[in-house]
Amino acid sequence: MKRRHFLSLGVATLAAPVIISRRTVAAEPGAPLPIPDVMEVGPGAGNILSAIKGRAELIPGVESDTLGYGQDYLGPLLRFQRGRTASIDVENRTDDPITAHWHGMHVPGYLDGGPQLAFGPGKTWSPELPVDHPAATLFYHSHVHGRTAEQVYRGLAGMIIIDDPEIDDPLPRDYGVNDFPLIVQDRSFDRSGRLTYDLGMMGRMQGFHGDDVLVNGAIRPKLTVPAGLVRLRLLNASNARIYDFNFTDGRQFHQVASDGGLLPSPAAMVNLRLAPAERAEIIVDFSDRSAVRLVSRNVGSGGMMGGGMMGGGNNTATLDVMSFDVGDASTSGPVQLPGFLPATVSDLGEPVRTREFILNISSGNMISSMLNNLIGQDRQTMGINGEPYDMSRIDQQVQLGETELWRINADMMTHPFHVHGVSFQVVTMGGRAVNPAAIGWKDVVHVEGPTEILIRFDKPATIDTPFMYHCHILEHEDAGMMGQFTVG
């Protein structure tokens, strides 16, 4: 069942149009959704996360070269409890340096797993993480500068759930029964069905966009859910793709949490946009017992140079994500959605300082750096405030405990902007004021025009292991759209 698929993408005057031919796997009914094994991580030894080289059958019957944490592709679901230390031994059994970055966690710089903490094959890194974060769905992934995109693409990523014993969460929370992790990633396969990571010119500029969607490492899987309320924890672990998730029958669902934890009340919607590294927990009501599919409308990553001539997203079709079948009625969990949730969005106070960030597709000479990006020179040509990332340069110094306003914008395209070590509140998006409480705690904001975020810095980071801020389009990050800051 091979369907070939041609894309024709013009790059205006900079290069001749390119024709890319890839295999798109036909939409057969999928295999069951794999549910990641849970690794409860507490204090004490014995929690081993081993980065390995894997052989995974992402396309049934065809093995691909992959990477994983303790498994062929992706990693276990890590469960941490607020107030307890999470001790973990991260081993590197691959051929290259790796890290394990706890994306979204509030830990000091030396525990954060950023690029300075890369460690080589045969080495083990054993952080003891003080878990000081409200209940939330987080992300972990490798973060080696210049290699993050390919390492995450091959599988060095997973989900973290933080439980908060102090908060009585009135939502479905029976893991694998009515509470499911959904790690969504777009991937491409060659004609034989092997995973490929071919960036080409468009991918270098816009980040990688694949033709097929995997959920928890399975292509367009199927999940049987109980008839009743079901919680889906969506993590966009794609390198660059933005999703607009919706159900084929147009049903309404409710978002109950964003990146950093619960919202003050469930938000009704029929469409959910998630940029790379964003998370959302949604509650879907399956009590009508009708089967349905989750799809995504293709979303561009914003016009290049305002004209939309490189609109991202590659084509206009709908992407199939996964399908749902409904089984027996729920035997656990609430039957009704609560009106209010024990959210933790608090008042950060007035900012004492404002900083400005411009995300640059072209740092320095625009035409020459665009050309460099297109032809894939090794030189980093993307940047922030005119400078590509430099591991030996500290870009910002922040005072511990202070609240700041960060203003972010871009010279071209839209970008998911991420800050390490904090959760922040979004004040302005696309130039318009928004309600920070309704958006909840965030650690990634999709910058689609002037954006303002309010941040309080509560965890320290020194010169040796500073925190990062960067675009979470992984190809942009690797090309230098990243900076670093100390907190002290």
Q: Which amino acid is at 143?
A: H
| 333: Cβ contacts below 8 Å, ≥ 6 apart | 171, 172, 173, 174, 178, 228, 229
Binding partner selected for residue 446 from ligand C2O, Cu ion, none, CB under the kind-specific 5 to 8 Å limit: none
73 binds, among Cu ion, ligand C2O, none (CB under 5 to 8 A by kind): none
Indicate the Cα dihedral angle 309, 311, 314, 317, nearest 10°.
-110
Q: DSSP labels for 35-52?
A: -PPEEE--SSS--EEEEE
Identify what 476 binds: ligand C2O, Cu ion, none; CB under 5 to 8 Å per kind. Cu ion
Q: Return the exposure string of 270-281: e unless at least 16 CB atoms fall within 10 Å of the residue's CB, then b.
A: eebbbbbbbbbb
- The reply on whether position 420 binds Cu ion by CB under 5 A is yes
Q: Are 404 and 352 in contact (CB under 8 A)?
A: yes
Judged by CB under 5 A, the residue of 473, 479, 482, 487 near Cu ion is 473
Structure tokens at 290: 């009708």
Give yes or no for residue 468 binding ligand C2O (CB under 6 A).
Answer: yes
Q: How far is the CB of 280 from ligand C2O (least distance, A)?
A: 16
Nearer to Cu ion, 52 or 481 (CB): 481
> Which position has the token pair 């900083």?
355
141 interface partner picked from ligand C2O, Cu ion, none, CB below 5 to 8 A per type? ligand C2O
Binding mask 190-219 for ligand C2O (x = CB under 6 A): ------------------------------
DSSP sequence for 155-205: T-EEEEEEE-TT----S---BTTTEEEEEEEEEEE-TTS-EE---HHHHHH
The three-state secondary structure class of 189 is: strand
When binding is defined by CB under 5 A, the residue of 189, 476, 479, 486 that contacts Cu ion is: 476
Choosing from 23, 103, 145, 233, the residue that interacts with ligand C2O (CB under 6 A) is 103
- d(C-alpha 101, C-alpha 115), whole Å: 9
Q: How far is the CB of 394 from ligand C2O (least distance, A)?
A: 16
Cβ nearer to ligand C2O, comparing 263 with 468: 468
* Residue 36: both structure tokens together: 């990641």
Partner interacting with residue 471 (select from ligand C2O, Cu ion, none; CB below 5-8 Å by kind): Cu ion
Q: Which does 415 bind (CB under 5 to 8 A by kind): ligand C2O, Cu ion, none?
A: Cu ion
101 binds ligand C2O (CB under 6 A): yes
Q: How far is the CB of 143 from ligand C2O (least distance, A)?
A: 5
By CB under 6 A, the residues from 136 to 175 that bind ligand C2O are 139, 141, 143
- Rounded Cα–Cα distance for residues 193 and 64 (Å): 8
| Smallest gap from residue 362 Cβ to ligand C2O (A) | 22
Judged by CB, which is closer to ligand C2O: 275, or 405?
275
Report the site for ligand C2O in 276-335 (rule: CB under 6 A).
277
**Which two structure tokens, joined as six digits, stand for 33?**
């959704």
CB 242 within 8 Å of CB 447: no
Distance CA 24, CA 1 (A): 10
- How far is 392 from 384, CA to CA, in rounded Å? 15
| Residue closer to ligand C2O, measured from CB, 254 or 472 | 472
Q: Which of Cu ion, ligand C2O, none lies near 277, with the C-beta cut-off 5 to 8 A by kind?
A: ligand C2O
**What is the contact surface with ligand C2O in residues (CB under 6 A)?**
101, 103, 139, 141, 143, 277, 418, 420, 468, 470, 472
